[in-house]
Amino acid sequence: MISRSVTIPSLVVLLAAAGCGGNRQGGVLGAYKTRYCASGFHSVGSTRLAWAAVARRPMRAYRSPGRRPFARFETLNLNGVPTVFSVVGKIDGGCTTRWYRVELPVRPNGIVGWIRAADVALEPVDTRIVVDVSARRVVLYRRGREVLRTTAAVGAPATPTPTGRFYVNQRLIPRDPTGPFGPGAIGISAFSDVLTGWTQGGPIAIHGTNEPWSIGRNVSNGCIRVRNPVLRRLFDAVSAGTPVLVRP
């Protein structure tokens, strides 16, 4: 697993993206194929195990396999973190996986595309996060079992927390741990539905806070705030590719 820090203007970025640099493609995931290596589309992932696809090189995403690409991704994202996708399906050709269907970290929220299997390395992910906006609650699961439950602050009425299926795509360490993000931020693939002019398009994160009184309220710009000790536990527990379900 890569674990190094890169300094950028306001954040130090921890590169710990689901074992970035590792390559288990054709290994563990391949074990799910039938003994006959049947071709065709197969769904991937469950509430106990998911898969992260880490970019090996600059690459493209396609609306369907073999068609014209509609998005391009560099090996590292704008924060210098390895580009990661959440795998939801695959197409096998004989005994070889040729394409992965993945969730993409782009606007608008919920975009899914296809990427070439040769362009990514796969890593298993056994954690999952569920955010309940109306209950202002965050729950962490590992291998399908609840391991952490906490109260959170969520978006204010004018800047609501977007709902849907997302995934962790980066982990960020603020330069100042006493600032508004607290000791860390877990970036997810969602973007604010209203703050489109913000830096990098208004990405959403689960992060700490320097306003602990705000926990349990609808006061944020769309991000999910938790108490700093809880954020540290979450930060250490999850890796890039962790599915994040945000319920209304």
The upper half-sphere exposure of residue 135, i.e. CA atoms within 13 Å in the direction of its Cβ, equals 11
CATH of the domain spanning 127-247: 2.40.440.10
Query: Nearest to residue 248, comparing CAs of 167, 128, 161, 133?
Result: 133
- The answer to which of 46-50, 101-105, 182-186 has the lowest mean pLDDT is 46-50
Q: What is the pLDDT of residue 107?
A: 93
- Model confidence at 246: pLDDT above 90: yes
60-93 pLDDT, tens digit per residue, is: 999 999 899 999 999 999 999 999 999 998 877 6
CA angle 78, 84, 85 (to 5 degrees): 125
Q: What is the pLDDT of residue 42?
A: 67
**Residue 39: which pLDDT band, with cuts at 50, 70 and 90?**
low
Which amino acid type is present at position 169?
N
- Model confidence at 5: pLDDT above 60: no
> With contact defined as beta carbons under 8 Å apart, do 79 and 85 qualify?
no
Q: Which residues contact 178 (CB under 8 A, 6 or more apart)?
A: 210
Q: Within a 10 A sphere around the Cβ of 157, how many other Cβ atoms? A: 7
Correct CATH for 19-125 of 3.90.1200, 3.90.1750, 1.10.287, 2.30.30: 2.30.30
- Model confidence at 30: pLDDT above 80: no
Whether the link from the prior residue into 108 is cis, omega within 30° of 0, is: yes
Rounded distance, CA 109 to CA 192, Å?
9
Rounded distance, CA 176 to CA 182, Å?
8
User: Tokens representing 102?
Assistant: 């993945």
Q: Higher-confidence residue: 7 or 153?
A: 153
Q: What is the pLDDT of residue 196?
A: 84
Q: What value does the mean pLDDT of the chain take?
A: 86
- Model confidence at 33: pLDDT above 70: no
Q: Higher-confidence residue: 37 or 51?
A: 51
Give percent of the chain above pLDDT 70: 81
Catalytic residues: 207, 223
Q: What is the pLDDT of residue 48?
A: 84
Work out the average pLDDT over 239-245: 97
Q: What is the pLDDT of residue 27?
A: 37
Locate the domains of the chain by residue range.
19-125, 127-247
Rounded distance, CA 167 to CA 242, Å?
5
> With contact defined as beta carbons under 8 Å apart, do 12 and 176 qualify?
no
